Structure 1
Amino acid sequence: MTHDSLRQRLKAATAGQHERVDVAFSSFDLESIKGYRAFLGAHLQVVHPLEVALEAAGIDRLIHDWANRQRRHALMADLHELGENRIALPAPLVVEPTPGWCLGACYVLEGSRLGGRLLARRVAAANPAAPLNYLAHTDTSPSWPGFLEEFEQSARLQPWQELLAGASDCFDLFVAAAAGH
């Protein structure tokens, strides 16, 4: 299997889940501060515990520029700027991540930043003063192609089922978070 076909295989295997996430988050009114705050709050429910779990499992040994890619601090900064001064951190994930699981989850997290630029424009057009540290993080951090290069090098050494489980679990977390807000 080539590197590109592994990425395409993961994308194809999770396409239905990806669509469910898109539908779930499309209900948030990003043009209003209240809706944007709820959107960020839902993302915090996934991003914070997921990044903490990935870091505890050693994601920086698989994705070497991880420190530049993590976004939970940018997300919390945006929520603080929007008046959320008492942010309750979500419960830790109950998972013992394998390297393959971590890579699958990281694939989804990194993919989620791709739409960030479009969403940032939408939010900024409606509310020019809205904080965009989280959504615009893609403008200041390493690129998707750079991530894919490392992902594909590391992922080819991992069991397919672990990659798929990490990606699937991550998509499920996003759907649940959107439904909870």
Structure 2
Amino acid sequence: MTTNPPDIADVLRPLRTATHALHEALDSRLPIARDDASLADYAGHLRALRPWLQAVRDALAASGVPGLERIARRTDRRLAALALDLDDLGASNTIEQEDSSDTTPRLADEAVRDPAFAWGLAYVLEGSQLGGMAMHKRLGARLAPHPLRYFQPVDAPGGLAAQWKEFVAQLGAALADPSAIDAARRGAVAGFRSLMPRFGLQGL
């Protein structure tokens, strides 16, 4: 007896619904999303993003799930691309501002307790690559010759769309019951809520 793979829309719908308002609020207020975004805005974006990206990477690595550990290793290469971009911009030594409301240190603890929570974090992280590709298309020519490495796909030999499809298939297999779906929702929401203060967005 064969089992049909889960429908992508059915897998993603609970996470998209849970994070829609947060996603919209974040995207609409990022300086890098403005029409006049500059390389200084890009540097600021990377500096704000780096601690969060590291924290999510650590949470996925701590989950003990092979698929999530692979994403963590891929995130190492994204962090390396981010560091190279900051080096090019002369901003690599800037210290990110600490935030007393920061929740990122707790992400790994939650991921260890419930791997489905970590899958929700991975949903936010992997989705950000799709957003980065759109940003590169929009800003690449205008901000050239800077390569905007962080906004380029990392380790996607079949293309980013194929990588996303593979991720969603793994996500669907991992979220096989309502309790796992609920934990993944919490993880996705925590992913956004821990990121937003990095960009000065509080209480959303």
TM-score (norm 2): 0.75
Q: Deviations over 1:91-111 (max 9, x none)?
A: 862231220110000001111
Alignment correspondent of 1:94: 106
Cα contact 2:133–2:151 (8 A) shared by 1:
yes
- Structure 1 residues not aligned, in runs of 5+: none
- Offset at residue 87 of structure 1 (A): 4.8
For the pair 1:25 / 2:37, whether they are aligned, the reply is no
Shift in CA distance, 167/90, structure 1 to aligned 2, threshold 3 Å = farther
Distance verdict in 2 for CA 1:164–1:90, change over 3 Å: farther
- 2:176 is matched with 156
* Structure index of larger Rg: 2
SS at match of 2:148: coil
Q: Would you say how many aligned residue pairs link Structure 1 and Structure 2? A: 178
Ranked by relative contact order (alpha carbons within 8 Å, sequence separation 6 or more), the top structure is 1
Structure 2 counterpart of 1:177, one-letter code: R
CA-CA distance at 1:64 after TM superposition: 6.4
Match of 2:71, as an amino acid? W
Describe the shift of the 1:178–1:127 C-alpha distance in structure 2 as closer, same or farther (beyond 3 A): same
- Aligned amino acid, residue 54 of structure 1: L
Rounded to whole Å, the distance in 1 between the matches of 2:83 and 2:195 is 17
8 Å Cα contact 1:49/1:90 also seen in 2: no
What CA distance in whole angstroms lies between the structure 2 residues aligned with 1:54 and 1:87? Answer: 26
Residue equivalent to 1:80: 87
Is 1:113 the equivalent of 2:129? yes
**Take 2:184 and 2:58, find their aligned partners in 1: how far apart are those partners?**
18
Secondary structure, in 3 states, of the residue corresponding to 2:30? helix
* 1:80-125 CA-partner distances (Å, limit 9, x unpaired): 2211231547886223122011000000111111121121123222
Quick one: structure 1 residues 172 and 11, their matched pair in 2 at CA, closer, same or farther if it must change by over 3 Å?
same
1:166 corresponds to which of 181, 187, 201? 187
TM-score norm. by structure 1 comes to 0.83
